[in-house]
Amino acid sequence: MGKAQLLDYLRGELAISNSAIAVALRHGEQDASQLPMVLWQYGLVTLEQLNLIFDWMEAQPTEPFKIFTEKRSQGCPTPYQ
C-alpha cells in the first residue's frame, strides 16, 4: 500500500475532494503517512474522518505506516485522544 492507494481511499471512500488533497499535498510533507494529519490540520477532514483514515491505514497489509501505527498503539498523543 502506498500513496496512490491512500489517495484512492480518500477520494473513493471518504469523498475528499481533489482540491482538498491538492492543498494538503502542497502544504504537507511528501510522505504519505503525514497526509491525513495535514488534511486535519487544515480543516479538510473531520476528526471522525481522520480516525477512519487511521483505521484504514492500520488495516493495510504493507508497512509504509508502520512507525506511525506503532506509535499510535503505544499511546502516543494523537488528535482523537
In DSSP notation, 4-38 reads HHHHHHHHHTS---HHHHHHHHHHS-S-GGGHHHH
What letter represents residue 36's amino acid? Answer: P
Q: State pLDDT tens for residues 6-60.
A: 999 999 999 999 999 999 888 866 677 789 999 999 999 999 999 999 999 989 8
Q: What's the pLDDT score for residue 43?
A: 94
pLDDT band at 61 (very low <50, low <70, confident <90, very high): confident
Question: What torsion, rounded to 10 degrees, do the Cα atoms 40, 42, 43, 45 define?
Answer: -40
* Average pLDDT, integer, range 48-76: 75
CB 36, CB 50: distance < 8 Å: yes
pTM: 0.71
Would you report the helix, strand and coil content of the chain in percent, each value rounded to 5? 65, 0, 35
